[in-house]
Amino acid sequence: MTTDELKVLLPTEELEIKLEDIEGLPRFAFINENVRFEEVQDEYQDDEEPWPDELYVIGYEDFLGDPVCVNIETNHVVIVSHETFEVEETLSTSVKDWLR
């Protein structure tokens, strides 16, 4: 998948998606509107702590505030720790199916 193909899949308005509860507490993913795609990527680029090249931020998870990303190489939707940049959870193995 290319970044242009990913941008086409993103909503025109912020989208809220219900995720699996944690410890009985509800949580949601908020997906940014497509016009903010480049702006959001710039926010995560840092010379001191480089962001993984294959991960593109498409939103955030409300429980811990971690970014929701798409791995452009695998098309998986994942939650990435905002502290370690490690994948914490795989939400879907298909970004197309998950955003429908």
| Confidence band, pLDDT 50/70/90 cuts, at residue 46 | confident
Which pLDDT value is given to residue 69? 98
Inform me whether the pLDDT recorded for 18 exceeds 90.
Answer: yes
Inform me whether the pLDDT recorded for 47 exceeds 80.
Answer: no
Inform me whether the pLDDT recorded for 31 exceeds 80.
Answer: yes
Q: Over the stretch 50-86, which tens digit does the pLDDT of each residue have?
A: 889 999 999 999 988 999 999 999 999 999 998 899 9
b/e 19-56 (16+ beta carbons within 10 angstroms → b): beeeeeeeeebebbebeebeebeeebeeeeeebeeebb
**7 token code pair:** 């941008």
Give dist(CA 96, CA 81) in Å, integer: 23
Residue with tokens 């994942």: 78
